Amino acid sequence: MAQSYTTTGFNDRVIMVTGAASGIGAATVARLQEAGAKVVAIDRMPLSAPAALCIQMDVTSENEWIAAASQTVEQLDRIDGLVNCAGIIRMGAITDLSADDFRLSLQVNVEGPFLAMKHVLPVMYRQASGSIVNISSTAGIAGAAGAGGYCASKGAIRMLSKAAALEAIGNKSNVRVNSLHPAMTETPMVKDIVSQLGGDETIEDQMRALQPSGNFIPVKAVVDSILFLLSDASLFVNGTELIVDNGFTAQ
């Protein structure tokens, strides 16, 4: 009974998920479909997973977001939820990180969710309902040496979510916006980080050792939290950050 929100209450709800081709996004799409939602899967890569609607697009393009929101409403009538999972990481000390990589981190990790909310929130306001979950990171709570661009972007999405939540409350819309902050999670991003740091197979072990449990967060734990924030079980959770880190930020 404690996890009923992960399996019920989503029948026919229309939920958009970015970064749907892999990692947390792909797992979220699968779980929402199991729960009966009509999922709009969004990614820059071709999508093969079944969904009510698949949109291949660049999340940093405002024109493509205008089209995606319009297409979703035209075909599925409404938008009940939005999960911004799409993200990148570019490793490097501040003295070494290129300005282009820093800008790219902000563009994908902050501007992407900003554009998504800009064009999805008006739909939710008209409905007077909706829930938005922006995937941030513990890097948006605590710093991480060698990941300045990522930390900056994840801290920004945390505060952007709070601003959006207050605007939604001001609109008396019953729309909620929250950020979710997982610690290092078992996704392809881990391999990407290891590769960027030189590919030494001991790097992943060192990353695990930074976690109090000695291990990464399972994807299922993150997806459970996403579904909680999308569900009616969290109707009064708004403008906050949900940290899923098994004690990482308590150190």
The rounded distance, in Å, linking the Cα atoms of 143 and 153 is: 11
- Residue whose entry in the numeric block shows the structure tokens 């999670």: 185
What the block records as the tokens of 95 is 């003295």
Taking alpha carbons only, the member of 162, 85, 83, 97 closest to residue 130 is 83
**How far, in Å, are 38, 149, 150, 165 from residue 109 at the CA level?**
25, 10, 8, 18
The rounded distance, in Å, linking the Cα atoms of 9 and 5 is: 7
- 5 classed as catalytic: no
User: Strand runs (DSSP E) across the chain, as ranges?
Assistant: 14-18, 38-43, 53-56, 81-84, 130-135, 175-182, 241-244
Q: Which residue in 5, 65, 102, 150 is the catalytic one? A: 150
The rounded distance, in Å, linking the Cα atoms of 234 and 82 is: 15
The rounded distance, in Å, linking the Cα atoms of 22 and 29 is: 10
Contact status, residue 105 vs residue 90, Cβ threshold 8 Å: yes
Start-to-end C-alpha separation, the chain: 32
Beta-sheet strand order (sheet of 14-18): 53-56, 38-43, 14-18, 81-84, 130-135, 175-182, 241-244
Catalytic residue positions, numbered: 150
